[in-house]
Chains A and B, each alone.
Chain A
Amino acid sequence: GENVEQHPSTLSVQEGDSAVIKCTYSDSASNYFPWYKQELGKRPQLIIDIRSNVGEKKDQRIAVTLNKTAKHFSLHITETQPEDSAVYFCAASNGHDMRFGAGTRLTVKP
C-alpha cells in the first residue's frame, strides 16, 4: 500500500521567511496530492492540491511542486505570517484511498 513520508516534523521560521515541507510517496499509481492545514483543536483544512499532470501550482503565498519521477512533492510558503503557524499534512491518493504524512508543526515567530 501507499506510504507517505513527511519532513521535517517541526519547523520554526521568522516572520517573513519562507518555509518548505517535503513529502515522498511510494505508490506510482498515486495521482492526487493535497495539503491540509490543521490549527489546534480544528479540523484539517484543504489549502492547496496538485494532480499528477501538473508540475507546479501556486496560490498567492503558497505553492506546491511535484516530481513524479522521484515521487516527491513539496509545499512552499513565502512571506510567512504568525497565522501560518499550524500543523501541515501532506497526502497522496490513488483515487481509491488517501494516505497522510505524519505532519509538520510550523511555528512562525513574530
Chain B
Amino acid sequence: SAVISQKPSRDICQRGTSLTIQCQVDSQVTMMFWYRQQPGQSLTLIATANQGSEATYESGFVIDKFPISRPNLTFSTLTVSNMSPEDSSIYLCSVDGTGMNEQFFGPGTRLTVL
C-alpha cells in the first residue's frame, strides 16, 4: 500500500488563527480524502480532493472554513480556518491507492485549539 505522511503530527493553536495540514503520498493517486475524528468518535468525511478539480465537501463542511488544495497527484493540504476550540480534533487524510475504493490513512494530525 501507499506510504502516507502528514505534517504537522500535532499542534496547539490559538483561537482565531489558521493551520494548514499537509498530506504527502509516495505514489500518484487520483482520489484523496480528508476526515475528522473527534476524541473517542468515528471518522467523518470532510471532503474529497481530486487533482485538477474543486474539492467536494460533505454536508456541514464549507470551503471557507476548510479550504483544500490538490496541486498534484501526490500532495494535498487542508486548512482549518479561524479556529475555535470546537475544531480540536484529529484530522486524517486518506488515499484510494488501488482505484478500487480501498482507502489507506495517513498518521493523522492532532489539533488542539485553546
- Chain A residues closer than 8 Å to B59, beta-carbon distance: 1
Residues of chain B within 8 A of A100, CB atoms compared: 42-44
The chain B residue with its CB closest to the CB of A4 is: B42
A95 is an interface residue with CB less than 8 A from chain B: yes
Query: Does B103 lie within 8 Å of A34, measured CB to CB?
Result: yes
- A43 close to B105 (CB less than 8 A): yes
Chain A nearest CB: distance from B55 CB in Å? 12
Q: Is the interface of B mostly helix, strand, loop or mixed?
A: loop
Q: Quick one: given A43-B92, A43-B108, are A97 and B45 in contact (CB under 8 Å)?
A: yes
Give bound CA distance, A49 to B58, whole Å: 24
> For A43, what are the chain B residues with a Cβ–Cβ distance below 8 Å?
92, 105-108
Contact residues in B for A98 (Cβ distance below 8 Å): 33, 45, 101, 103
User: Can you list, as one digit per residue, whether each of A69-110 has a CB less than 8 Å from chain B (1) or not (0)?
Assistant: 000000000000000000001000101111111110000000
Across the interface, A89 reaches (CB within 8 A) one of B42, B100, B102, B106, namely B42
Most chain B CB within 10 A, of A43, A93, A95, A102, is at: A43
A46 at the interface (CB under 8 A from B): yes
> Does B42 contact A49, Cβ atoms closer than 8 Å?
no
* A residues lining the B interface (CB < 8 Å): 1, 32, 34, 42-46, 49, 89, 93, 95-103
Contacts beyond the supplied A32-B100, A43-B107, A46-B1: 13 A-B pairs with Cβ under 8 Å = A42-B107, A43-B92, A43-B105, A43-B106, A44-B92, A46-B102, A46-B103, A98-B33, A98-B103, A100-B42, A100-B43, A101-B42, A102-B42
